Structure 1
Amino acid sequence: MKLLIGNRNYSTWSLRPWLVLRHFDIPFEDEVLQLQGEGFRDVLARRSPTGKVPVLQDGELTVVETIAIIEYLADRFPDKAIWPANIGERALARAAAAEMHSAFTALRSHAPMNLRASHPGKVSVDAVAKDLHRLETLWGSLLARSGGPFLFGAFTAADAMFAPVATRLRTYDLPVSDMAAGYVEAIYALPAFQDWLGMALHEPWIVDEDEIDVIQGRVKPGTLA
């Protein structure tokens, strides 16, 4: 089984299924496909049916789209508790994952994932306030039900879906409650996340479109080292 991923420092959608595979000890290998540079789109088009990452290859089967990959893994490895065992909890977990997939657009656009960076004060709190409020409400209700440290007690696919959001809160030092900050700490303490983070910190590549200083016009594309 192989997972094609983008640059670890920036690729939020790649991080999510990778965490599921690593945390639940599912044997796999990964391959990084560059998200910037000469010809990178041609490479993606040759390797991915959608021209995007992640892509899961399992024998002759190719699965694209993060949630589809996670659902496939849950079906393929039913003993791994990728989703909560209780039917009600499982429904809530899938609803949270689906909301993450379709919402939180302000956080995505104004605060791109950048694991190597620290940019306190560079994201307007007003621009992401609605998304922050929804995070507080959603995480708060689920953590209150489960008792933590993750949304459903033990780590599940729902947490994998929200892991990139946790990194955004830390990178841009966005104001959140102690509850939300504790959840961010739990994500960062997860051994699988630490594995990904360690590799991301040693990547040499820059993706301009995910660098806040380029996005906000402080530096020109191609000038970051």
Structure 2
Amino acid sequence: MKLLIGNRNYSSWSMRPWLVLAHFGIPFEDEVLQLSGDGWRDVLARRSPTGKVPVLIDGDLVVPETIAIIEYLADLHPELRIWPEDISQRAQARAAAAEMHSAFQSIRSHAPMNLRGSHPGRVNVDTIAKDLHRIETLWGGLLTQSGGPFLFGEFTAADAMFAPVASRIRTYALPVSDLAAAYVEAIYSLPAFQEWLAMARKEPWVVDDDEIDVIQGRVAPGTLA
């Protein structure tokens, strides 16, 4: 089984199924497909049915799209409890994952994932206030219900879906409640997340489209080392 991923520092969608695979101990290998540089879009078009990452390859089966990959893994390994065991909690977890997949456009646009970066104060909180409020409401309700440290007590696919949001909160020092901050700490303490983070920090590549200083015009494209 192989997972095609983008640059670990920036590719939030790649991180999500990778965390599921790594945390639950499912044997796999990964391959990084660059999200910048000469001909990178052509490479993705050749390797991915959608021209995007992630893509899971399992024998002759090719599965694009993060949620589809996670659902396939959950079907393949029902014993692993990738989703919560309780049917009502499982429905809540899937609803949260689906919301993450379709919403939170402001925080994606104004606070791109950048695991190597530390940019406190660089994001105008007013531009993402609605998304932050919804994150607080969603996380707060689930964490209060479960008792933490993860949304449903133990780590599940729902947490994998929100891990990149936790990283954005850390990278840009976004103002959140103590409950949300504790959840961010729980994500960062997860061994699988730490493994991904360590590899991301070692990557030499820069994707200008995901660098806040380039986005906001502080530095010119192509000048970040």
What TM-score does the superposition give when structure 2 sets the normalisation length? 1.00
> Alpha-carbon deviations, 1:123-159, whole Å to 9, x = none?
0000011111101100000001100000000000000
Q: What's the CA shift string for 1:168-194, capped at 9, x where partnerless?
A: 000000000000000000000000000
Q: Supply the RMSD in Å over aligned alpha carbons.
A: 0.3
The one-letter code matched in structure 2 to 1:107 is: I
Tell me the equivalent position of 1:78: 78
1 CA distance for matches of 2:53 and 2:149? 29
1:99 maps to 2:117: no
Match of 2:163 in 1: 163
Q: Alpha-carbon deviation of 1:103?
A: 0.5
User: Which amino acid letter does the alignment assign opposite residue 19 of structure 1?
Assistant: L
Q: CA deviation at 1:32?
A: 0.1
Report how far residue 46 of structure 1 moved.
Answer: 0.5
Could you tell me how far apart the structure 1 residues matched to 2:223 and 2:9 are? 18
- How many residue pairs get matched? 225
Q: CA deviation at 1:110?
A: 0.1
Q: Residue 163 of structure 1 aligns to which amino acid in structure 2?
A: A
Shift of 1:223: 0.6
Q: Whole-Å Cα distance in 2 between the matches of residues 46 and 221 of structure 1?
A: 27
Is it true that 1:111 corresponds to 2:111 in the alignment?
yes
**Aligned counterparts, 1:6-155, within 5 A:** 6-155=6-155
CA distance in 1, matches of 2:12, 2:171: 14
Q: What amino acid is aligned across from residue 221 of structure 1 in structure 2?
A: P
CA distance in 2, matches of 1:133, 1:45: 37
1: CA distance, partners of 2:133 / 2:141: 12
Identity of aligned pairs, percent? 79
Equivalent residue for 1:183? Answer: 183
Task: Tell me how far apart the structure 1 counterparts of residues 136 and 64 of structure 2 sit (CA, whole Å).
Answer: 30
Q: Deviation digits for residues 103-130 of structure 1, max 9, x if unmatched?
A: 0110000000000000000000000111
Which whole-Å CA distance do the structure 2 matches of 1:181 and 1:145 have between them?
17
Partners of 2:84 and 2:120 lie apart in 1 by: 35
SS in 2 for 1:57: strand
**Secondary structure of the corresponding residue to residue 149 of structure 2:** coil
Report the 3-state secondary structure (helix = DSSP H, G, I; strand = E; otherwise coil) of the residue aligned with 2:19. helix
1:182-221 Cα deviation digits (max 9, x unpaired): 0000000000000000000000000000000000011111
Q: Which runs of 5+ in 1 are unaligned?
A: none
Letter in structure 2 aligned against 1:45: A
The secondary structure found in structure 2 opposite 1:161 is helix
Q: Distance in 2 between matches of 1:58 and 1:76?
A: 11
- Whole-Å separation in 2 of the counterparts to 1:124 and 1:98: 26
TM-score norm. by structure 1 comes to: 1.00
Where 1:27 maps in the other structure, the secondary structure is coil
Long gaps (5+) in structure 2: none
The residue type equivalent to 1:161 in the other structure is: M
